[in-house]
Amino acid sequence: MKDKIKNTKTLEDLQKLYSDTFGKNGTMTLQLKNMANLSNDERAAINAENSELRQLFKEKQNELELAALNAKLATEYVDVTLDNEPQNHGTLHPLTQSLKELSAILESFGFTLCTGPEIEDDWHNFTALNTPEYHPARDMQDTFFLKNGNVMRTQTSAIQIRAMEKIGAPIKIFAIGSTYRKELDATHSAMFGQMEGLYVDKNITMSDLVATLRNLLSRFFEREIEIRIRPSYFPFTEPSIEFDMKWDKGKWIELGGAGMVHPNVLRNCKINPDEYQGFAFGFGWDRMAMLKYGLNDIRAFYDGDVRWLKNSGF
């Protein structure tokens, strides 16, 4: 009997064996029933056998249940260390990526991000920037005019005005945003991204401007960048410069405009130009992204073609 229990392979067989032993007409049940005429020793032997068998059944049941559980776990086992099916991961758009990089660099130089609206009024986009109505410099930019006299912001320089009106001097800010001009070819898009920097304080000079530009470019392109400045004209800076950087094969690439903030602009923002002076710069950061990532058609940035985004390595 004991061997039988020990050799049972399944819970059902054990169940059956159990009722054959302890069921209504089970072998042990009958022995227990008919103990009345037996000697004390014989009874003791049957009782001992009874407890031993019950114990054996219990142990066997535990053993078989554990085995069943293990078998179940083995078939339902999930290997969480296995590689997943390859997934299409989203990535940051190259423009977003370079924008984040440029912001992080300017922030590390102590500039604070400022914003302004894309539909701008005449005052912030032109007049306060020393470009009154009928000023010939208004023709430098092909402006989209709205019926109510507002414009699609042609330059993030408008944010300089908003920031100075709000914060006054000293001030050290940068701005990023979309700007709009009626231009469209491989290197121009009607909407493009501009980044602006403005630093007004006591004793700010042109060399602070040049150092800031050179450090900004060197950090962004992750190598020492040589820059060149050329005299230029913007109504809101005096003197004004344009800056280029040396690229492959010694080629100079035009990047943006800059200069010392014109006293009239400071005055328009209620800042005393005899006390404060500063520099401002502006450039198309989507062009910088093109150069960094080796792309040649600016319009592709805005087409949202997923195949292009994939092939351009992002």
List residues near ligand PHE by CB under 6 A: 155, 157, 196, 234, 237, 256-259, 280-282
Best CA proximity match to 179, nearest among 208, 158, 202: 158
Name the token pair of 228.
């060149």
Q: How far is the CB of 250 from ligand PHE (least distance, A)?
A: 25
Give 109's contacts (C-beta < 8 A, 6+ positions apart).
Answer: 212, 215, 216
Q: How far is the CB of 155 from ligand PHE (least distance, A)?
A: 4
Q: Pick the closer one to ligand PHE by CB: 46 or 229.
A: 229
Question: What angle do helix axes 206-221 and 94-108 make, rounded to 10 degrees?
Answer: 140
Q: Whose structure tokens read 């209504």?
A: 24
Q: Pick the closer one to ligand PHE by CB: 190 or 309.
A: 190
Residue nearest to ligand PHE (CB): 282
Q: How far is the CB of 234 from ligand PHE (least distance, A)?
A: 4
Q: How far is the CB of 281 from ligand PHE (least distance, A)?
A: 5
Q: How far is the CB of 141 from ligand PHE (least distance, A)?
A: 7
Q: How far is the CB of 272 from ligand PHE (least distance, A)?
A: 20
Q: Output the DSSP codes for 78-127.
A: --TTSPPPP-------HHHHHHHHHHHHHHHTT-EEE---SEE-HHHHTG
What are the residues facing 26 on neighbouring strands? none
Centroid of chain to Cα 301 = 18
Best CA proximity match to 143, nearest among 161, 124, 159, 126: 126
Q: How far is the CB of 81 from ligand PHE (least distance, A)?
A: 54
Q: Pick the closer one to ligand PHE by CB: 56 or 190.
A: 190
Q: How far is the CB of 314 from ligand PHE (least distance, A)?
A: 27
Handedness of CA 141, 146, 150, 156 (dihedral sign): negative
Q: Pick the closer one to ligand PHE by CB: 67 or 145.
A: 145
Name the token pair of 152.
């699609």
Best CA proximity match to 292, nearest among 308, 270, 276, 314: 314
Strands 171-180 and 112-114: parallel
The helix (H) or strand (E) run that includes residue 174 is: strand 171-180
Give 51's contacts (C-beta < 8 A, 6+ positions apart).
Answer: none
